[in-house]
Each structure stands twice: as structure tokens, then as C-alpha cells.
Structure 1
Amino acid sequence: MSTQVKNKKGAETGADGERRLNMIEAINDALDIMLERDPDVIVMGEDIGYFGGVFRCTAGLQEKHGKTRVFDTPISECGIIGVAVGMGAYGLRPVPEIQFADYIYPGLDQLISEAARLRYRSATEYIAPLTVRSPFGGGIFGGQTHSQSPEAIFTHVAGLKTVIPATPYDAKGLLISCIEDNDPVIFFEPKRIYNGPFSGFYDKPVEPWKRHADSVVPEGHYSIPLGKARTVTEGEQLTVLTYGTMVHVTEAVCREQGIEANILDLRTLVPLDIEAIEESVRKTGRCLIVHEATRTSGFGAELSALVTERCFYHLEAPVERVTGFDTPYPHSLEWAYFPGPVRIGEAIDKILKD
């Protein structure tokens, strides 16, 4: 393994000179760059200032940029998002953090009735360029109030964009794009892969994040366009549509089983890269959808409908979904709730046999 040294920001730098970050560090880097680059950017949320956030994503930012740019808020999600909408209409670019996605529900009215509609209601006189960051999904045994995956709710709301990175490289580039975007964005961060995309999938160790190509994060400003999926692996046996943590789970399963899958990391659910989906499914003729959220009315249902509508005559087998269960989120049975190697493997076998 390459000799590792620490650079001035605490990131790992290999002997080859490549800077390797985990997702927490990449998000912190993006916020730091945008605070420095644009005086209108404001970072706000519960415990994000002096403490640096419950997951340390904002560590050091208040000390560097000051208490008027990076500040703590009261414990009021409705208030946090409502104030951010007003800031955006005034001309600022707020980046509010909701400490866990499970806590976002009190702010839904501000997001749906105000942020999402402001541009249309004002005939473009006002906009709401806020980026709501929030860790989502399981992986820390947080139980029902710290582990939900509510992304489908926001994809249903016209005027909101929904973004979910799966790698440190994408986390930085996508977050910068979101902050620079003139529309309100929900930026969900998969907490299970905050510290590395391969942690905790199996009993045996899997390749550590430090060796993973997507942990190489360039210094400075770069952006990744919203609405563009990423091809994780290329193959012609089947298409896998997924995002967030499940990108790494499905990639590991296909690698271990020798499946040549065309895995698409959607990265943004709204806007969605429909062209990439169509191209892949028409090439493979088979489609598997994997996400962590509950099955009924999950985003996988929309993906399944789109694939069926647009690629029906190219399909060689029915579209399959592997998802979380339609139950309250279990605490002690968290790893059984996740789509894992067994369920994903069974779905792949079923698709390929049809």
C-alpha cells in the first residue's frame, strides 16, 4: 500500500501525490471553498458552528469564516428552512443543515409551499437558492428517528431538486453545483458511507476507501452538472439503477458474483438522467433497481414505471426492485433491513433466468 502523509487540511495524500478524502472531508472542503469564493453563501444549522456538526462536516468553518457566515440556529427545523427561504429571496445563498433527515418533516411546509413555488409565484422576480444538507439513511444503529430515507417525498414536489452523492469526489462537485444553482435543492448525504464507501457491508474486510479511485478529490473549485448519472461499471448482462450507499453494495455484489452489470449511479433524482437510463436498458434488456428506502411509493417505483414506459419492447425480463421493507425502521435488525448481498443476488439470479 502507498505511503500516506497528512496534508495541511488533514486529508490523506498518497506517495503519488493524490489527495484522498472521505465524504465528510469532501463536503467540508466544498463548503469552505464556496464560503471563500462567494460572500453571499451562509452556512447554518443546529450545532454546526463551534461544535462543527454532529458528523463534523462543518468543523473549522466558523473559526475560519466567522460567526456571521457560519452559525448555530435554534432547534426549529421549520424556522431554519423558513429563514433560509427569506435569505434566498433577499439575495443570499444559504446552506442550512438539518441534523438528520428524520427531522426535516417540520420544515416541509416551508420547502413545499414556499421554497419550491417562489420562482413561479413571483414570475421569476424572486428565487430561493438554498441547499438543504442532511444526512440520511441507516448505518449507525440510530433506530426509527435517525435512519429514514425520505427522498421520494421531495422528488414528488415540482420546483425542488434532489441530489444524493455516493462518493467523496461527487459529494464535493455536486454540492458546489447545488450551492451555485438558483433553485432549492435537497442534498442528502448517506451517513453509512461518510467515512468510506466500503465500511460495514460484509463480515470480512473489503477494499478500504483510501484505495478507491473516487476518494481522490482535487483541491480547489470544480462542479458536477446536476442531472447526469455516473456509469460505475459497464456490462451487458443487466442494468442496475441505484444511488447513495447502495451503489457500493450492488457494485460489491456484482463483482463477487462475476456479474457484468451496467451500474448507473443516478446521483440526482431530480433532475433525472433519463437518457442514460434508456440507453443502458436498451443495451442490456434487463433492469434491477436498488434503494434503501421503503418499497411502496419509493423512488424505485417511479424508475420502474419510466423504464417500462420507455423501454418495454427492449426488456427481456420484468423490472425487479430490491428495497427496504414496508415497516418502521428497525433498530436491532438494521442490517437485515438493508438490501444486502443475499436479496440483491437473488434478484439478479431471477432477472438473468427469465
Structure 2
Amino acid sequence: ASDAEVMAPLAPRHPERVADRATVRADRAAATEGPVTLAQAVNRALGELLHTFPGMCVFGEDVGRKGGVYGVTKGLQQRFGPARVFDTLLDEQSILGVALGGGLTGLLPVPEIQYLAYLHNAADQIRGEAATQQFFSAGQFRNPMVVRVAGYAYQKGFGGHFHNDNAVGALRDIPGLVIASPARPDDAAAMLRTCLAAAAEDGSVCVFLEPIALYHTRDLHDDGDGGWLAGYPAPGAYVPAGRARSYGDGTDLTMVTFGNGLRMSLRVARRLAVGGIGARVVDLRWLAPLPVDDLLREARLTGRVLVVDETRRTGGVSEGVVAALTDAGYAGLIARVTSKDSFVPLGPAANTVLLDEPTIEKAAIGLLDAR
């Protein structure tokens, strides 16, 4: 009889219980290791969580014996055995079908979709089955899962729209779906803890988008600076869903971004600082739910917001960010830069349609000149 009644079983949220579950760790050895890359952080987190959650299974194309195309699942099958870490058919519908059945029987599936473009082959198994199970059964059944997806663009030497894809609109449209998009190694591990805990406690369906181009990135500004490495997060560290992360304390401009855009924005922010412009950079980290409170606070600190969105201009993330700020009452200046409404082509042609640092810097300066 009401929207609240209809939506009650859609996506139960118990943040305190999720926090309790996310801060429990069985494997503490990884916390003592030195700075890691994004790929290494996800690998260690998967190992830690396989210890923590006995029903957790990691599976997908080449994730077992090979350890994944990019080595992210390397060594996990040897440690935990082929019953918990295993290879599947080269078929996304089969992969998500196994996850659907596993979740119903009480397991905690963590399927991998090898590339974001491949997810579209089986998107309805997330939209029409997994994410709607609690909704249509009034909470009697659920399909908890954390779908790891290697995605976005900017891969060097491995082009084409099947391996470089920035289409996230089909995911952001699904009610109740949690979409995590870590860029930094420490965030990736902490956010993966959150997603597994949410799946276990609330039956959440989570999509964990991993930027391929940042998997093995080590430097931020200069060769050898190690600025993109980070320490593995200590036991108990997790990132609540819908919370952003800020860098810098500039008062002239707020740059809102995520994924590969974070690295580009931080690099641009340093160049702006040389010219006397103080910019703060906000990493969304979560594309659903969006961190609206954090966004609004950081936007009001400067009164000028530039949304740096590596996805497409139409159906991308920036549309939701601009709408969220406007709906929340933000009255300052706002602009956005995005990639083009195009598939990602092969080779150097990709640079003609993807967002780049010169475009970001030019837009930032233009926004500062606006009145």
C-alpha cells in the first residue's frame, strides 16, 4: 500500500552488523607486508576473506590454475583447493548462474567477470535474478554475491572495445545493487571486506569494479616515486558503503572523480598547485550508493566542482553526481569532463575518445575563471 512497504525487502541494510562482520579477520599475516599494488591488495584480500568466510568461493575464467589474466587470483587455488577456487567455462551466463545457485544454497560466491564488456552478455542474471530475489520473495530468499569485474579503459597494448569498456550505466540502473569502484590498493582491500560482509549479513548483491590500468601501477607523479603503492590495511579497517575519500585541502576547487580519474586528477591538482591554485580531490569509491553527504560537504568548501568522469558522457557516472549535488541543494558552480559517447577503439585511436589530463586541467582553469 506504500512505497516503503514495497521497497522494504529490496535491499536490506544493517550497517552496524556489516561493520562488525567486516572487521573480523582470520588471516592477520598479510597486514605485516610492505606497500602493495592494486592487484596485490585484491589478491591478499581474497586470501584473507577465504579464511574468514568458510562458504566463500572464487571462480571464473582462468582464475584457478592460471591465477587470472592479470595475476590477481594467483596462488589462491593452491592455498584453498579447487573446490573453493576454480575455473569455469568461458561463458558469463554460466559463471553468474553458478553464483546464483551457490548463493541460494548458503554459499558466498565471488565470481569474476574477466572484462567489463563481457558482463553485458549476462547482465540480466544480475538485474532480473540476483538483485530481485529478495524483492520478489519478500525477503524469504536471497542471492548474496560479490561480482568482481576487471574494467574501464586506458590499458596499454591491449585494445579494443571488448577489453577496454567504460559502460556502467546498465549497472547503476539496478535498484539495490551495491557498486564498489576502488582505485587505491588500501581502499580495494578494505572495500572488498565491506562487500563480503554486506553479502553475508544482508544478502547484498555487489559489483566490485577493478580498474585494469591501475592493477600494476606503482608510481603517481614521477618514475620510481612509488606514489600509487599503499600499505595493506590493518585488521579492522574497512570502508562503509557510500563513503568517499578526500585528498588535499585546497579551497579553490573540488574535483570529484573515481577509478582512473583519481590518478589523473591528483596529477592535475599538483600542476595546478604550482600555479597557485588549491584543489582538493574527492574519490567517490562507491558508485552506488553515491556518497552524497561527503560530496555536498566537499563541494561547499570551495563552491566550485569539476566532475572528472572517465566513463561516457551519456549514461555515465557524472550525470548522477551532478543530479545528486543539485538535489541536495548545492548552489555553487559545477562542470563535468567525460570520455566521448563511443566504444573504445584499437591502439592510439583510443586517446581520441578517452578523457585525458590536458582536458581536465583546461576545464579546471575554465571553472576558476567563471563567475
Residue 55 in structure 1 maps to residue 76 in structure 2: no
Residue 234 in structure 1 maps to residue 249 in structure 2: yes
Residue type of the partner of 2:341?
D
Query: 1:171-200 CA deviation, whole Å, 9 max, x = no partner?
Result: 11111211121301110000111112647x
Map of 1:124 onto structure 2: 139
Farther off after superposition, 36-45 or 254-263: 254-263
Partners of 2:268 and 2:83 lie apart in 1 by 47
Instruction: Choose from 323, 326, 335 the match for 2:338.
Output: 323
Q: 1:70 to 1:114 in 2, by over 3 A?
A: same
Deviation at 1:336, TM superposition (A): 3.7
Partners of 2:328 and 2:163 lie apart in 1 by 36
Partners of 1:75 and 1:129 lie apart in 2 by 22
Report the TM-score when normalising by structure 1. 0.89
Map of 2:3 onto structure 1: none
- CA RMSD in angstroms comes to 2.1
SS at match of 1:187: strand
Residue 216 in structure 1 maps to residue 237 in structure 2: no
Farther off after superposition, 292-301 or 330-339: 330-339
Residue 285 in structure 1 maps to residue 298 in structure 2: no
Partners of 2:321 and 2:218 lie apart in 1 by 24
Count the aligned residue pairs. 333
Partners of 1:263 and 1:219 lie apart in 2 by 24
Residue 178 in structure 1 maps to residue 195 in structure 2: yes
Partners of 2:337 and 2:227 lie apart in 1 by 28
Partners of 1:137 and 1:164 lie apart in 2 by 10
Question: Would the aligned equivalents of 1:102 and 1:146 in 2 still touch at CA under 8 Å?
Answer: yes
Q: 1:92 to 1:33 in 2, by over 3 A?
A: same
Ranges in structure 2 where 5+ consecutive residues have no aligned partner: 1-29
Question: Would the aligned equivalents of 2:255 and 2:281 in 1 still touch at CA under 8 Å?
Answer: yes
Residue 143 in structure 1 maps to residue 160 in structure 2: yes
Give the alignment of 1:1-354 within 5 angstroms. Answer: 19-140=34-155, 141-182=158-199, 183-196=204-217, 198=219, 206=222, 208=224, 210-212=226-228, 215-218=230-233, 222-258=237-273, 259-313=277-331, 315=332, 317=333, 319-332=334-347, 333-354=349-370
Query: 1:121-172 CA deviation, whole Å, 9 max, x = no partner?
Result: 1111222210100111122232111100122321111021111001000011
Question: Would the aligned equivalents of 1:192 and 1:245 in 2 still touch at CA under 8 Å?
Answer: yes
Partners of 1:304 and 1:195 lie apart in 2 by 31
Residue type of the partner of 1:351?
L
Farther off after superposition, 17-26 or 276-285: 17-26
Residue type of the partner of 2:264?
V
Map of 1:5 onto structure 2: none
Question: Would the aligned equivalents of 2:247 and 2:281 in 1 still touch at CA under 8 Å?
Answer: yes
Stretches (4+) displaced over 4 A: none
Query: 1:10-60 CA deviation, whole Å, 9 max, x = no partner?
Result: x9x9xxx86110011100101101111111100010110011001111000
Residue type of the partner of 2:217?
G
Partners of 1:173 and 1:267 lie apart in 2 by 11
Partners of 2:166 and 2:192 lie apart in 1 by 19
Residue type of the partner of 2:323?
A
Deviation at 1:292, TM superposition (A): 1.2
Residue type of the partner of 1:144?
H
Structure with larger RCO (C-alpha < 8 A, sep 6+):
2
Residue type of the partner of 1:112?
R
SS at match of 1:311: coil
Partners of 1:222 and 1:184 lie apart in 2 by 21
SS at match of 1:145: coil
Residue type of the partner of 1:28?
N
Report the TM-score when normalising by structure 2. 0.85
Partners of 1:195 and 1:80 lie apart in 2 by 26
Q: 1:221 to 1:283 in 2, by over 3 A?
A: closer
Partners of 2:254 and 2:230 lie apart in 1 by 24
Partners of 1:312 and 1:22 lie apart in 2 by 36
Partners of 2:135 and 2:213 lie apart in 1 by 36
Question: Would the aligned equivalents of 2:159 and 2:345 in 1 still touch at CA under 8 Å?
Answer: no
Residue type of the partner of 2:167?
P
Deviation at 1:312, TM superposition (A): 4.2
Partners of 1:157 and 1:108 lie apart in 2 by 10
Deviation at 1:219, TM superposition (A): 5.6
Partners of 1:154 and 1:261 lie apart in 2 by 30
SS at match of 1:210: coil
SS at match of 1:64: helix
Deviation at 1:263, TM superposition (A): 1.2
Partners of 1:225 and 1:312 lie apart in 2 by 24
Residue type of the partner of 1:142?
G
Deviation at 1:247, TM superposition (A): 0.5
